[in-house]
Chains A and B, each alone.
Chain A
Amino acid sequence: MQAVTQQVAGEALKGFLARYDGLRARLPGNADVRDAAAAVLRERGFPTPKDEPWHFTNLRPITGLDFQEPIGDTQAGADLLSLLPKVEGPRLIFIDGRYRADLSVLPEGLEVRSFAGTGLFGALTKPERDRVVALNTMLTEDGIIIDVPAGFDAGFLMLAQLTSGKHRRVASHPRHRISLGADARLVLLEVSAGIGEYLNNPVIEIAIAEGAHLTHGRLQQDAKDAFHLGTIYADTAANAVYDCFSLALGAKLGRTEIHARLGGEQAAVHLNAAQIMGGNQVSDFTTAISHDAPNCPSRQTVKSVLTGKARAVFQGRIEVARIAQKTDGYQMNQALLLSPDAEINSKPELEIYADDVKCSHGATVGALDPEQLFYLRSRGIPADQARMILVRAFLTDAFEAVAHEGLRDVFEHAVEEWWATTGKDAEAPSA
């Protein structure tokens, strides 16, 4: 244990712990919760590839760096807002991990509280197991707390986490809690973006009561020198739906980790994702779905489009408890490699204790089909556009899983922008 601690206690951890010691008295919420999280980090440090859930993703590029406290750059506000997708409607804006009432547009008929104002930690996170979440728990300053009343359709809401690492390398740790009362509905678009070098480390706790429906779109467009470590815990009651689509385009190193629990009969969980990466980017989508009740479906289609030397990871764990008979689990991992140096790592894990279940998983890896490419070009479509058409076609059924049209438009637009700025140039035209 001693040796491990020394090995992982890099600059980042020392800085974070020192910052906690300095801030401890001023941070909101129960100090015992934070102290426990700090103790986990002090004893065990950040995860390393020796920890199985981190086998494919090494945090060394982050742990070796020294992160500063955000200075609350009010000037950066306008620059950062320009990074947001162009969608109308209510928006809750965070800059450097702090809520900015002056930039936000509150949703109608919905009470929004801040973590800074309430200090309410939820009960769903597991910082003792998930040490990236322990870091968030220890240092978080702010977040939103939303309770959608039973039977209320809250419509669309954007939650933006913007970070400016323009002047110094900063880390932000927003901490959100969202709960939907019985039969309530909400469409949430969570956006991460920023400038410069920084760590964005958001945690969201989600509780969906009976018959309620949360559509959760995640758009990770963090800056190319940034790091993204996002963790979500979602709990569904009977007949509730958690429908999540996560699109990762940004960050030098990014990981989205989702723990979803089906806690009542006929609940449904969809954890779909697309990871579109180039250069030396690394993107990790790790999920754990717990079937804790009978008759629940879970669905996952994860698509990766990789160019350059990019690498993507999809780890999908499905646990079916003894009680969860008639579970219907489906998991598909598909990767399109646009360059010979791109790499996909896939690890499905099924742990089944019930005897009457249907769980399937599959994986495919391929390149663009030269026949299809020639067919398009022979019709006059230029090579780069032909490639884009095929990449988009590859992503089609992933995006079709996004039922909300507004969200789908945001995702499709983000992919086209990526192609125009990054993807197109990332691959040399074929001879």
Chain B
Amino acid sequence: MLEIKGLTAEIDGKEILKGIDLTIPQGEVHAVMGPNGAGKSTLSYVLSGREGYEVTGGTATFNGVDILAMEPEERAAAGIFLAFQYPVELPGVGNANFLRTALNSLRRARGEAELDAVQFLKQARAAVKKLAMSEDMLKRNVNVGFSGGEKKRNEILQMTMLAPKLALLDETDSGLDIDALRIVAEGVNASRGPDFSALVITHYQRLLDYIVPDHVHVLADGRIIRSGGPELAKELEAQGYAGIIGEAAEAA
């Protein structure tokens, strides 16, 4: 279970998160929607430990453990995975090698036996097949020369292989055509289960047609201003963010 209480954070002295309260129980998929500049990506970076974001108040725990004090690799070992909005290119680093190094780092951190090359390739090939990716992607350098859709699918491949307990999907739908969107969504849905939670960050309701969330939260100006069921996403689509933000302001 992810529990965020009163979380405030800033970049370069500018406050971006202004008090986030959010709980994602184990096994649930929550969506965070909001306009540009609301703090959606900042929330995912703060939770995954990216440098440059200063937490100024509040707490974030995962299964009772404070994650804000952890290094990024420790958070990964605890089961947290960030699917990047802009996956990073690593020239000179082979995708298969990268995946195997990551998987074995996690296994080592958890006291599990490392996979040898044969065991790993078997798993990787199965995952690639499931995501309708070409095996060629394992041989290429990480994200180098990948199309936008290939990069996002590569994120989902990593998620599938690393089997996190909590996935943070940061605008995974951006830049995807409808076919790629469906494949990515199927990858996420295949991971769903009692031991998998996800925080799906998106600007558009479209992705939520494919990944149906248990709850939807609206983030605006660093605060969650409304929460509800999947129908809230439809309402947003109809009214636009301005309507919801206006309502929330009136209510306050």
Question: Could you tell me which A residues sit within 8 Å of B by CB distance?
Answer: 370-372, 374-383, 385-386, 389-390, 392-397, 430-431
Cβ–Cβ contact B50 & A374, under 8 A: yes
Cα of A347 to Cα of B105 in the assembled complex, Å: 42
Among the interface residues A382, A394, A395, which one has the most CB atoms of the partner chain B within 10 A?
A382
A416 to chain B, nearest CB (A): 13
Is the Cβ of B92 less than 8 Å from the Cβ of A396? yes
The residues of B with any CB-CB pair to A shorter than 8 Å are 48-51, 71-73, 75-77, 81-82, 84, 87-88, 90-93, 98, 101-103, 105-106, 109, 158, 162
- Asked whether B73 lies within 8 Å of A370 as measured between CB atoms, the reply is no
CB closest chain-B residue, reference A391: B92
Q: How far is the CA of A392 from the CA of B76 in the complex (A)?
A: 23
For residue A379, which residues in chain B have a CB less than 8 angstroms away from its CB? 76, 98, 102, 105-106, 158, 162
| 13 chain-A/chain-B pairs, Cβ below 8 angstroms | A378-B48, A378-B73, A378-B81, A378-B84, A379-B158, A380-B102, A380-B109, A381-B101, A382-B73, A382-B105, A392-B92, A393-B90, A396-B91
Q: In the assembled complex, which residues on chain A have CB atoms less than 8 Å from the CB atom of B90?
A: 372, 375-376, 389-390, 393
Q: Is the interface of A mostly helix, strand, loop or mixed?
A: helix
Q: A370-B51, A379-B102 are in contact. Are A394 and B92 (CB under 8 A)?
A: yes
Return the contact of B106 from the options A371, A380, A390, A430 (Cβ within 8 A). Answer: A380
Return the chain B residue nearest A430 by Cβ.
B51
Determine if A378 and B49 form an interchain contact, defined as CB atoms under 8 angstroms apart: yes
Chain A residue nearest in CB terms to B90: A372
Q: How far is the CA of A380 from the CA of B112 in the complex (A)?
A: 14
Which chain B residues border A381 with CB–CB below 8 Å? 73, 101-102, 105
Our pick among A371, A380, A392, A430 for the contact of B88 (Cβ within 8 Å) is A371
Return B160 CB to nearest CB of chain A, in Å: 13
Known: A379-B162, A396-B91. 10 other contacts (CB 8 A): A371-B88, A372-B90, A379-B98, A379-B158, A381-B73, A381-B101, A382-B73, A385-B101, A389-B93, A396-B92
Contact A372 B88 (CB under 8 A): yes
Q: Of B49, B50, B84, B105, which is within 8 A of A385 by CB?
A: B105
Residues of chain B with a CB closer than 8 A to A377's CB: 49, 71-73, 76
Is the Cβ of A383 less than 8 Å from the Cβ of B73?
yes
Q: Is there an interface contact between A378 and B72, defined as CB atoms closer than 8 Å? A: yes
Contact between chains at A374 and B72 (CB < 8 Å): yes
Contact of A380 with B73 in the complex, beta carbons under 8 Å: yes
Task: Report how far A395 CA is from B93 CA in the complex, Å.
Answer: 11
